[in-house]
């Protein structure tokens, strides 16, 4: 149930349509190493509502109390150097549970605001490293959401993608260096009318979901009704979907636990690479992400190994944004992925 002091969040299971976006978000939550989601679509299609809803749905995480980086009490890859030192010195750490952090990155954010700042004066006069954490620190083990990512300065997008890929953020100033864990699911959204993201940045997002305004009148009416009911009485709407929310929450938790044991046979791995090769995808990121996403989907569906159906369901999401754009090509990139997939997997 929701805390009375927090702003009510629209239930994830109440969201109608936009299956592509919902699936991409769920798979990234199961395995953050997929590398985030870029959501491109029309204005007013519920992008930010859906992202807030998935963050609200996630199980609470255990952290070291009062730690600036949401450090994990036992996993060294997810803890700050300060916490590691305390553990080495056998200092007892107080623990607590918090909601998964959901951090919004505003468009006008500066590099200092994103990465954090080192207090040089304090370092020089008192000889202590004093660090003011930025948004990357707050987002550790959570979700970092950038709306209108295609309008963000390329330099900042680079920093975000580097941190998301490595899981660490390093701040250097005047010869003083501080690093901290910054492992988060990066979710970017944008409207294609406001310009595309540069291909080399787009390729760094694990998945790419396209969303369109719902055309069917009946479905539109249902969406409007649900939103109106929620705005009039949020607690009633949240209560109505509580059971479905708890079921999905349990399913995600089970999938996270099962993930490491999921197998994908050699033949299917070869075929995934054949698809990437045939589509002329640069580098190996496409192959890696497709394998990871297929495993996450198998885990979500409660299976022990990846089937062709799993791969088929996520192939377009993982590959469509990695294709070279041909201005003369009339076929949609998603259709192109499906066509090549069907050719290779039917042999």
Instruction: Report whether 98 contacts 61 (CB < 8 A).
Output: yes
Question: So what's the pLDDT on residue 332?
Answer: 64
Q: What is the pLDDT at residue 329?
A: 54
Q: How far apart are CA 125 and CA 283, in angstroms?
A: 48
Same-fold call for 12-60+99-211 versus 259-345: no
Average predicted confidence (pLDDT) for the chain: 85
Residue pLDDT, tens place only, 159-175: 888 888 888 998 887 77
Q: Give residue 6's pLDDT.
A: 67
Which fold, 12-60+99-211?
Answer: Rossmann fold (3.40.50)
Is residue 76 very low, low, confident or very high in pLDDT (cuts 50, 70, 90)? confident
Question: Residues with Cβ < 8 Å from 312, sequence gap 6 or more?
Answer: 341, 345
- Is 285 tagged catalytic? yes
**Top-level CATH class of 259-345?**
mainly alpha
Q: Cβ contacts of residue 243 below 8 Å, gap of 6+?
A: none
pTM listed for this prediction: 0.87
- pLDDT confidence of residue 52: 86
If one compares 130 and 210, the residue with the highest pLDDT of the two is 210
- Report pLDDT for 330: 46
Residue 335 is predicted with a pLDDT of 86
Q: Please state the rounded mean pLDDT for residues 176-189.
A: 87
With 80 as the cut, is the pLDDT of residue 2 above it?
no
Lowest mean per-residue pLDDT among 118-127, 281-290, 292-301: 118-127
Strand 116-118 with 131-133, pairing: antiparallel
Point out the catalytic residue in the list 285, 292, 320, 322.
Answer: 285
At residue 140, φ and ψ (nearest 5 deg) are: -55, 130
Domain parsing of the chain, residue ranges: 12-60+99-211, 259-345
* Residue 44: pLDDT over 80: no
DSSP annotation string for 50-109: HHHHHHHHSPPEEEETT-TT---SS-GGGS-HHHHHHHHTTPPPPEEEEPPPEEE--TT-
**pLDDT higher at 97 or 331:** 97
The angle subtended at Cα 159 by Cα 153 and Cα 165, nearest 5°, is 135
What integer is the mean pLDDT of 207-236? 84
Residue 327 scores a pLDDT above 80? no
pLDDT, residue 123, reads 61
């Amino acid at each position: 149930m929701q805390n009375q002091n927090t702003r009510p969040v629209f239930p994830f299971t109440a969201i109608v349509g936009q299956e592509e976006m919902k699936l991409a978000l769920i798979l990234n939550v199961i395995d953050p190493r997929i590398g985030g989601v870029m959501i491109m679509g029309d204005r007013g299609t519920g992008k930010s509502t859906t992202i807030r809803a998935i963050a609200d749905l996630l199980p609470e995480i255990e952290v070291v109390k009062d730690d600036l980086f949401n450090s994990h009490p036992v996993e060294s890859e997810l803890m700050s150097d300060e916490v590691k030192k305390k553990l080495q010195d056998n200092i007892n750490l107080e623990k607590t549970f918090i909601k998964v952090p959901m951090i919004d990155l505003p468009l006008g954010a500066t590099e200092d605001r994103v990465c954090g700042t080192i207090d040089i004066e304090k370092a020089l006069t008192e000889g202590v490293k004093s660090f003011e954490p930025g948004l990357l620190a707050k987002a550790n083990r959570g979700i970092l959401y950038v709306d209108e990512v295609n309008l963000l300065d390329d330099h900042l997008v680079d920093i975000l993608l580097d941190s998301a890929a490595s899981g660490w953020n390093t701040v250097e100033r005047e010869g003083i260096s501080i690093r901290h864990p910054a492992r988060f699911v990066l979710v970017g959204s944008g409207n294609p009318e406001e310009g595309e993201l540069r291909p080399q940045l787009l390729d760094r997002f694990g998945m790419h979901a396209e969303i369109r305004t719902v055309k069917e009148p009946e479905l539109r009416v249902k969406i409007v009704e649900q939103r109106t009911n929620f705005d009039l009485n949020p607690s009633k709407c949240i209560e109505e979907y509580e059971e479905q929310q708890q079921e999905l929450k349990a399913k995600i938790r089970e999938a996270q636990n099962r993930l490491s044991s999921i197998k994908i046979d050699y033949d299917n791995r070869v075929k995934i690479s054949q698809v990437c090769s045939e589509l002329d995808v640069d580098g190996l990121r496409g192959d890696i992400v497709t394998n990871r996403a297929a495993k996450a989907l198998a885990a979500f569906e409660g299976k022990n190994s990846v089937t062709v159906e799993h791969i088929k369901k996520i192939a377009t999401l993982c590959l469509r944004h990695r294709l070279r754009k041909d201005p003369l090509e009339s076929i949609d990139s998603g259709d192109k992925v499906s066509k090549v997939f069907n050719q290779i997997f039917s042999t």
